[in-house]
Structure 1
Amino acid sequence: MTSLAHACRNVLLTADPHAKVMAARAATRDWRLGRLDHRFDVAMPDRPARPTRPDLLPPNRMPKRGKVGSERSRIAMLHALAHIEFVAIDLAYDCAGRFGAGFGPAFADDWMQVGAEEAMHFALLSRRLRALGSAYGDLPAHDGLWEAAEETAHDVMARLAIVPMVLEARALDITPATVERFSKAGDLNSARMLGRIMKDEIRHVAAGTRWFVSAANRAGFDAPEYYQILVNRHFRGSLKPPFNDSARSQAGLTREFYAALASSRLICTL
């Protein structure tokens, strides 16, 4: 029987966006159907395979997107979000394949489901870009999300603290305003799609928070205090309001985790 690690590695090593979506769906389906053994016999790659497009630039060289009122700026925003979701596919399967040996099958259940949902989000955004006369890869993107993965590749608690509990949680903060801007611009299709994606992202942050708290309790750490230590140690950006406290709370990420960090750090939005 094929191992879970092998299936996760296959997703990571698939470069073509459409093929990666298909590989992600197949891996999660096979896991649900019991076709994958909870075995970790291969290592995850240091970096996932990437398509030739988009061009990846340092964050400080990314062109400004401007206001969402114009179609051009909305396409730029949707492209940036599509890239985030594309990388998030790899982040989910890397989490399952890299760290799953330290947990029972329920850990894989969560991250394989997250991976399939990130693949769906990318497919939705890619389809919307095509409807607007563009495509994923037409604009440059940056590699900040995978840099966070490299920074936390050695420590599951650091990975959970930085990826779902900082980066994905930030999406909960900014998405409502983004939805409103798309709505005001008359792009209701995009607005509804982003609202749908946000509901899934609350569950993703919840999964990260739940497993972080579980690991902290198992190690005898105070979860909020250790979260703050890890964010200060591994996150290259910074945090400040406004926070979507309601959505964060739904995900179990209460203010005791992040409020103390907000007063001394500035936010870096990916």
Structure 2
Amino acid sequence: MTELPRIHSLRDGAAKAIAAADLDLKTELAQETARRWDDRKLSLRSPLDLTVPERPGRPARPELIAPTKMVRRTLHSTRGRVALLHAIAHIELNAIDLALDIVARFAGEKVPNSFFDGWMRVAFEEAKHFRLVRDRLRQLGADYGDMPAHDGLWQAAHDTRNDLTARLAVVPLILEARGLDVTPALQAKMREAGDMESAAVLDIIYEDEKGHVAVGAKWFRFLCARQKKDPAATFQALVRANFRGPLKAPFNDVARAEAGLTPSFYRSMTASTNI
């Protein structure tokens, strides 16, 4: 087991996990911080907290390239499935840091402790997802870092670092919700290819991600209610200001609605572009 540094508070544990370049250390720190917070063995903040990193720690590999240079993947071969799983591992790794950043960066916000309960559960589960996908890659003779990955996901955190409502609009309600849209087709294709083990991993991720979008929707609506703003109109305004490009159809309306993200939020924005 990886030896953990001392964790002074919830914010400190989250910041140290974000900063960790060793991915075993990152995932263990994220999950141990979540456990201690859930057991109420940590305060929210302390004077000894690590400063929240501007960028997450990363190993030397994979090479990070522009999203436009990523090669399209087919699932008809083992190499194609490895490439897809590698891309999913990269998404899950970024999702760990995005959840932790919501906790660490916004620890001074006037929100109930249950806000942090929800996001630490998300961080815990994202760490679980990364490990599951990485284990599956290793079973297929590969590992995370073997292929290039794109560096666009963290941009969402940087662009919304000063506005919690904008962060919730962009990260869980766009990026995580997109996973609900695309994962069912990937599950089916994995099964068609006979890769039941990879499909089973995607099953776990899909069910958990519904809860992650629900956490985002719950707290987005909470903040809008406190500010006496209409949630759907506020979402659309924040997306236009903070998200690059249109929202992509098709949408998994049923799963999104189960998570509290109704079509009134996003349907009118399908073809919108930002200036």
**Which TM-score tier does this pair reach, normalised by the shorter chain?**
over 0.9
State the distance in 1 between where 2:245 and 2:179 align. 14
Q: Which residue of 2 aligns with 1:123?
A: 131
Q: Which residue of 1 aligns with 2:150?
A: 142
Q: Is the 8 Å Cα contact of residues 7 and 27 (structure 1) preserved in structure 2?
A: yes
Deviations along 1:60-112, one digit per CA (max 9) or x if unpaired, are 122222x2111111000000000000111111111011113211211110011
**Larger deviation, residues 119-128 vs 185-194:** 185-194
State the distance in 1 between where 2:46 and 2:103 align. 10
State the distance in 1 between where 2:122 and 2:225 align. 23
Q: How is 1:52-201 mapped onto 2 (pairs within 5 angstroms)?
A: 52-65=60-73, 67-102=74-109, 103-201=111-209
Q: Which residue of 1 aligns with 2:35?
A: 29
| C-alpha RMSD of the superposition | 1.4
Q: Which residue of 2 aligns with 1:228?
A: 236
Q: Is the 8 Å Cα contact of residues 40 and 97 (structure 1) preserved in structure 2?
A: no
The one-letter code sitting in structure 2 at the alignment partner of 1:91 is L
Deviations along 1:124-171, one digit per CA (max 9) or x if unpaired, are 000000000000000010111101110111100110000000011011
Whether 2:13 is the aligned partner of 1:13: answer: no
Q: What is the Cα deviation at residue 40 of structure 1?
A: 6.0
The one-letter code sitting in structure 2 at the alignment partner of 1:88 is A
What is the percent sequence identity of the aligned residues?
Answer: 46
Q: What is the Cα deviation at residue 214 of structure 1?
A: 0.3
State the distance in 2 between where 1:264 and 1:95 align. 27
State the distance in 1 between where 2:237 and 2:57 align. 32
Q: Is the 8 Å Cα contact of residues 172 and 216 (structure 2) preserved in structure 1?
A: yes
The two structures have a TM-score, normalised by structure 2, of: 0.93
Q: Is the 8 Å Cα contact of residues 40 and 101 (structure 1) preserved in structure 2?
A: no
Q: Which residue of 2 aligns with 1:38?
A: 44
State the distance in 2 between where 1:237 and 1:131 align. 36
**Structure 1 unaligned residues grouped into runs of 5+:** none
Q: What is the Cα deviation at residue 17 of structure 1?
A: 1.2
State the distance in 2 between where 1:182 and 1:237 align. 29
The one-letter code sitting in structure 2 at the alignment partner of 1:262 is T
Q: Which residue of 1 aligns with 2:3?
A: none
